[in-house]
């Protein structure tokens, strides 16, 4: 019941945002609210699909996250240059996705934790060498390894949370809700604090909108939210919830600026157009790619 009540709160907040947006469109017709409207519409789709994944049977939830990894990897591969000789290694990267999530589903943690970082790390370059094309080999293999590690391995730690407490799936779903909710909340509060009080820029050449006030405000807000929600949604006590809030806020900031650096290197603003008003799926997963593995290992080490 707690999971359903939590999701109901989220839908209520989203409904409130929709009503406010509708009022703004009606009352301030001289302003362009199209981007905000698109963002809210897309959030409806994201929240509905995410909620269905959390309340579905475990195998269906894992399938949903595997699909997200598939789309994210595909989007990433459209951004980086690839050689004709890399077709088979790329095929193996996609084959890795169902294997990776299958290992999560059968709770084979020992193999999951080394499958991509060790075995695929060694297999991919070996398979690429067989093609005999050494042009830009180091650059290409590095790009492929990074894509597999972020979009599949790092992100799949969200699914690991879903099955972490094997006897109580709802507890795992609440952990996922706690992580994803705080990660998104951290992004929003860092943006709001930065817009209102931000003057000192942290990474002006990477992400000019990132300010010290935004970072500190986001850390403080996320930590307080974690402390309030920790004892409700998770097995964390208040002190560990505070630590979890710090971990999520700092790692989320790191994920955001790292992905911004990658997009600047490639020369793009958004990773895609799949999510209207938001950009691509990587634009929504950038912080979560960093927060998911860090939070998962924090919870698993101390509680399971």
pLDDT digits (tens, 9 = 90+) for 145-169: 999 999 999 999 999 999 886 555 5
Distance CA 61, CA 297 (A): 20
Kind plus residue range of the DSSP H or E element containing 144: helix 137-148
Backbone angles phi, psi at 23, to 5 degrees: -65, -40
Distance CA 262, CA 123 (A): 25
* Average pLDDT over the chain, rounded to an integer: 91
**Which residues are bridge partners to 279 per DSSP?**
275
Question: Is residue 82 scored above 90 in pLDDT?
Answer: no
Distance CA 169, CA 174 (A): 9
The pLDDT value recorded for residue 90 is: 94
More confident site: 203 or 176: 176
Count of beta carbons in the 10 Å neighbourhood of residue 297: 14
**In whole angstroms, how large is the CA radius of gyration of the chain?**
20
Count of beta carbons in the 10 Å neighbourhood of residue 174: 23
pLDDT tens digit sequence for 9-44: 999 999 999 999 888 878 777 777 788 788 889 999
Please, what is the angle between helix 58-79 and helix 87-105, to 10°?
160
Q: DSSP readout, 146-215? A: HHHIIIIIITTHHHHHHHSSTT-HHHHHHHHHHHHHHHHHHHHHHHHHHHHH--SBS-TTT-TT-BHHHH
């Amino acid at each position: 019941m707690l999971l359903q009540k939590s999701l109901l709160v989220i839908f209520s907040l989203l409904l409130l945002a929709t009503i406010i947006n509708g009022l703004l469109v009606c009352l301030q017709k001289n302003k362009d609210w199209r981007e905000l409207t698109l963002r809210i519409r897309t959030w409806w789709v994201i929240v509905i699909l995410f909620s269905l994944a959390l309340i579905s049977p475990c195998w269906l939830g894992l399938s949903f996250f595997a699909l997200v990894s598939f789309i994210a990897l595909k989007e990433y591969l459209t951004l980086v240059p690839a050689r004709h000789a890399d077709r088979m290694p790329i095929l193996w990267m996609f084959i890795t996705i169902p294997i990776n999530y299958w290992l999560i589903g059968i709770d084979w943690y020992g193999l999951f934790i080394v499958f991509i970082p060790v075995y695929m790390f060694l297999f991919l370059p070996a398979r690429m060498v067989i093609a005999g094309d050494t042009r830009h080999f180091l650059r290409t293999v590095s790009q492929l390894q990074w894509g597999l590690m972020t979009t599949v391995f790092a992100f799949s730690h969200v699914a690991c949370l879903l099955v972490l407490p094997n006897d109580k799936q709802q507890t795992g779903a609440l952990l996922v809700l706690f992580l994803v909710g705080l990660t998104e909340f951290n992004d929003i509060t860092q943006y709001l604090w930065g817009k209102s009080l931000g003057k000192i820029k942290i990474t002006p050449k990477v992400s000019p909108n990132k300010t010290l006030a935004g970072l500190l405000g986001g850390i403080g807000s996320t930590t307080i939210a974690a402390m309030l929600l920790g004892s409700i949604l998770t097995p964390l006590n208040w002190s560990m919830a505070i630590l979890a809030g710090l971990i999520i806020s700092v790692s989320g900031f790191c994920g955001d600026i790292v992905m911004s650096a990658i997009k600047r290197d490639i020369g793009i603003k958004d990773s895609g157009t799949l999510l209207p008003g938001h950009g691509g799926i990587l634009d929504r997963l950038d912080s979560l790619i960093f927060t998911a593995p860090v939070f998962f290992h924090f919870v698993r080490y101390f509680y399971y």
